[in-house]
Structures are given as C-alpha cells and as structure tokens.
C-alpha cells in the first residue's frame, strides 16, 4: 500500500474511506459531496476527476468520479482497491433502457454485467468470466430501496465499449436476451473487484430509452438521481 499518490490520484493512503461511491461524472461527485456529506474535503483533483471524503449519518464515506468507459473506471477502481485499501466501490451511473416496461428515472441494480469488451483477456482464463455484483451489497441495496419506498429493477445490464455502434441491430440482440439497460463501466468494476477480493455494486438511473427516444436533460442527469444516491449512501 505504498503506491500513493498515483499518476491519476493525488490522494494519500488513508484519504479515502472504505466505501467509495463512483459516479461517472466528476461534477456529480462534487454535487453528492456538497449535498449529502458532512465535513467533506477534496482528496483528489487530478484531471478534474474530483474525489471527496466526509461523513454521512456518522459514517465515513468517499465519492469520486470514474469517467466514461471501462478503461477509465478500470484504472480508478483498481487503484482504490489495490493502493488505497478501499473495500467496496458502488457505481452510481446512468443507463439507456432496453425493455418496454422501463421508464425514465427508474433505478436499476446490475446483478450481472454482460459485455462486448475484452477486458477479461488480461486474466488468461480458459473460458468466459461472468461479472456479477457482490450479493451482500445487492441485497442490502434492495432492502434499503424498499424502506425508502423506491422501486428498483434487478437484473442483467450490458457494459458496452461502443457508444455509437456501427451494428444497427445490436440493441435488439441484447434486448432479446432480457438485458435491462446498457451502460459502459460495470463489467470492468465487477472484474476488478473479483480479482482483488473486494466488493462492488452498480446502480443505475435510466436517463434515456433506446426504443421510445425519451431522454433526460444534461442537468437532470447531473443533479436528478437522488433516489439512487440515497440508496447508495446507506450502504457504507
């Protein structure tokens, strides 16, 4: 645990809590710290990937941006797990809905994360690895949502490397397998956690629907995900 600070993180060992919430957008991290945390202090600002540590209901908790895509969250979550002694990372992000019964602002918990990425290639496995959430975090998130009166949908999500896909039918294929929504980070986070022997969970708010063409504004995406944030904060 001596590899701190890193090229991507100016924090020192001990600056991060054992639990880190990780939105993709660093401005959402800043918003969460300013809105929910007491005595929040900034611990990272490298490349404007803001990280903060404070307390929530008396428990120490950190929040830091993870960026867009698996290479980005792969770097940040790896360093948190291996260099900063973090025990659990909870991704709180946005996703595009694939199923007809889903609507904007629905909260989705990724029990599993399908992927079109070759992120698992590095492990040299003799087959296909199935990235999954930590069950304890998942079950606690579901119970917390029930107490708060928030309906959540639990199931498979897709972590894609490609936002603008040249294959015109790719969404139809994943939709046909019952995948709930598409995002770009969960699979790498789940694999990093599995390899490190740590815990991870991905919670998502539906920001757009890929079949109805509905979508939230940029401001709503940055500031409007309160139900998801409040569930995640209770998991520290």
d(CA 56, CA 233) in angstroms, rounded, equals 7
Query: Looking at residue 83, which CATH number applies to its domain?
Result: 3.40.50.1580
Q: Is residue 31 part of a domain?
A: yes
Q: Is the pLDDT of residue 15 over 70?
A: yes
DSSP label at residue 11 = P
The position carrying tokens 């401001």 is 219
Q: Is the per-residue pLDDT at 141 higher than 60?
A: yes
* Active-site annotation holder among 85, 87, 161, 208: 208
pLDDT interval class at 223 (50, 70, 90): low
For 5-19, what is the mean pLDDT? Answer: 97
Label the pairing between strands 38-44 and 19-22.
unpaired
In a domain, 3, yes or no: no
Q: The whole model's pTM is what?
A: 0.96
Question: In which residue are the tokens 């300013």 written?
Answer: 34
Q: What is the DSSP string of 53-120?
A: EEEETTEEEEEE---SSHHHHHHHHHHHHHHS---EEEEEEEEEE-STT--TT-EEEEEEEEES--GG
Q: Quick check: is 79 in a domain?
A: yes
Active site annotation includes 208: yes
Looking from the CA of 69 toward its CB, the CA atoms found within 13 Å total 9
Paired tokens of 43? 């611990």
Q: Is residue 222's pLDDT more than 70?
A: no
Q: What is the pLDDT of residue 217?
A: 87
Confidence bin at 224 (pLDDT 50/70/90): low
Domain boundaries, position 213: 19-233
Residue 14 lies in a domain: no
Largest Cα–Cα distance in the chain?
Answer: 50
Angle between helices 135-148 and 226-233 (to 10 degrees): 120
**Sign for the pseudo-dihedral over CA of 53, 57, 58, 60:** negative
Q: Looking at the domain assignment, is residue 8 inside a domain? A: no
The mean of the pLDDT values for the chain is: 96
Residues 162-199: pLDDT tens digits? 999 999 999 999 999 999 999 999 999 999 999 999 99
Q: Is 200 contained in some domain?
A: yes
* Local confidence band at 202 (pLDDT 50, 70, 90 cut-offs): very high
Whether the predicted pLDDT of 161 surpasses 90: yes
Count of domains forming the chain? 1
Region 1-6: what's the mean pLDDT?
82
Q: Has residue 10 been placed in a domain?
A: no
Give the three-class secondary structure for 204.
Answer: strand
CA–CA gap between residue 1 and residue 84 (Å, rounded):
7
What span, in angstroms and rounded, lies between the C-alpha atoms of 233 and 236? 6
């Amino acid at each position: 645990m001596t590899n701190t600070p890193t090229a991507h993180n100016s924090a020192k060992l001990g600056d991060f809590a054992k639990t880190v919430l990780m939105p993709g957008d660093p401005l959402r991290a800043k918003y969460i710290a300013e809105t929910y945390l007491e005595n929040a202090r900034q611990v990272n600002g490298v490349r404007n990937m803001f990280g903060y540590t404070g307390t929530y209901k008396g428990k120490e908790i950190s929040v830091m941006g993870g960026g867009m895509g698996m290479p980005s969250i792969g770097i940040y979550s790896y360093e948190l797990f291996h260099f900063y002694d973090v025990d659990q990372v909870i991704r709180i992000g946005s996703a595009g809905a694939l199923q007809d019964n889903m609507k904007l602002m629905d909260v989705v918990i990724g029990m599993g994360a399908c992927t079109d990425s070759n992120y698992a290639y590095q492990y040299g496995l003799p087959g296909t690895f199935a990235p999954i959430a930590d069950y304890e975090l998942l079950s606690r998130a579901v119970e917390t949502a029930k107490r708060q009166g928030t309906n959540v949908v639990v199931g498979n999500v897709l972590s894609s490397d490609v936002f603008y896909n040249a294959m015109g039918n790719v969404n139809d294929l994943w939709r046909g397998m019952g995948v709930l929504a598409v995002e770009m980070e969960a699979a790498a986070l789940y694999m990093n956690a599995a390899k490190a022997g740590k815990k991870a969970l991905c919670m998502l708010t539906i920001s757009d629907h890929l079949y109805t063409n509905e979508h939230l504004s940029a401001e709503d995406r940055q500031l409007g995900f309160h139900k998801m944030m409040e569930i995640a904060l209770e998991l520290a």
